[in-house]
Amino acid sequence: MENTKTIAKARQGLHGTIEIPGDKSISHRSVMFSALGSTPVHITNFLHAQDCLSTAACMKALGASVEFESETALVVCGHGLHGLKEASTIIDAGNSGTTLRLMMGILAPQPFLTTFTGDASLHKRPMGRVIKPLSAMGAKIYGRENNTKLPITIVPAESRLHGMVYESPVASAQVKSAILLAGMYADGPTTVVEPFTSRDHTERMLEAFGVETKKEGTAVTIEPVDSFRAPEAIEVPGDISSAAYWLVAGSVVPGSSLLLKNVGVNPTRTGILDVLKAMGASVTLENERVSGGEAAADIRVEAAKLHGTSFGAEIMPRLIDEIPVIAVAALFAEGDTVITGAGELRVKETDRLQAITDEFNKLAPGSVEASEDGLVIHGGTKVQCANCFSYDDHRMAMSLAILGTAGEGVEIERPDCVNISYPAFYGTLARLQA
């Protein structure tokens, strides 16, 4: 494994076409849901990265058939909604919070015991936000630190889970999904009410499997489910969180022109497009279409003069993962950018608000100030070359690489964490500079 990676300043702008790798959220769900059906599902453009492979390994351990045809194509077949089997050993969720939180929802109603572990980073992440509502439905889940941290064991419930109305304190697709998935097995309807609407990939994919959810304002309701009608095929659109790095790079590296192919543009995920447009970016959608219930398009981005903007809690569920790279765009914009309502970033793979502040200030001294739940970024601060740390956080590593490309170069310590979501990232960046 490489311990450091040198990223050079782009001299000529970035040019080319990029096939965006499959959406991480949809890749996870395509495998999980297919494993609850009883007919084979052919999944294409699957994201072949560590987190999604953790989900594939989990479903295999629980008795589903998971056969890879290539890195990005696989066939998954389960034994029906009640067909999962007890794993013969502890299940390892790796670095993947999505795998762990959604699997808790699926496994809480099952008649067998499951124990989860994960890597050092996942052991630090808060799981109480999922365990608490599932326990209120009657689930028996035990974990370290008062049932909030890994390792976590799920014991068969004493009776069928109870449907309920849950007022979620956070807008989180993972929390909502875990409760809805458990709700499929409950004795009555289950409703999740959020402060703001979080991404809706679970609801869209449930529909592709013949399961209706009812939406009213920020509330989503699911009725108990008898069976899954698995579709024959799922084509995963490209991940807008991965496209985000090129959207920003194409905007801030002078002379750039990029075409991003097959990007998922689900409206619950396109906050980055709204923010970049508000900053004056030149971003246009082409070839808009729908695949497997998900909107997709090709996106053209050209270098533009950006200016600062402000945004807060309301848009946060639609761009939470993109904050590190939006902070890069803000550095190259004119004026200040003020971000609030982003406290969730303190409990990601690392404390991203602190990491952005510490590392960006090495490259552009005095450019970033952190608050408890946000950032103030002073655009136009002089950028220099520096040695920066990734915190083993894939989104930090990729954001630093884009900052270095647009600035004066950067040395990234522990760069290999990009494999969690985008193994081809550095190779793509080198090709666009060629």
The answer on whether 97 is annotated among ligand-binding residues is: yes
Catalytic hit among 321, 351, 358, 416:
321
The answer on whether 395 is annotated among ligand-binding residues is: yes
The answer on whether 110 is annotated among ligand-binding residues is: no
**Hey, how many other C-beta atoms are within 10 angstroms of the C-beta on 111?**
9
Cα dihedral 348, 346, 370, 331 in deg (nearest 10)? 10
The answer on whether 352 is annotated among ligand-binding residues is: yes
Q: Packing angle between helix 97-107 and helix 24-34, nearest 10 degrees?
A: 30
The answer on whether 24 is annotated among ligand-binding residues is: yes
The answer on whether 174 is annotated among ligand-binding residues is: yes
Q: Hunting for tokens 């959020």 — which residue is that?
A: 194
Catalytic residue flag (residue 321): yes
The answer on whether 433 is annotated among ligand-binding residues is: no
The answer on whether 12 is annotated among ligand-binding residues is: no
The answer on whether 125 is annotated among ligand-binding residues is: yes
Numbered residues of the known binding site for 3-phosphoshikimate: 24-25, 29, 172, 174, 321, 348
Numbered residues of the known binding site: 24-25, 29, 97, 125, 172, 174, 321, 348, 352, 395
Catalytic residues, by residue number, are: 321
Numbered residues of the known binding site for phosphoenolpyruvate: 24, 97, 125, 174, 352, 395
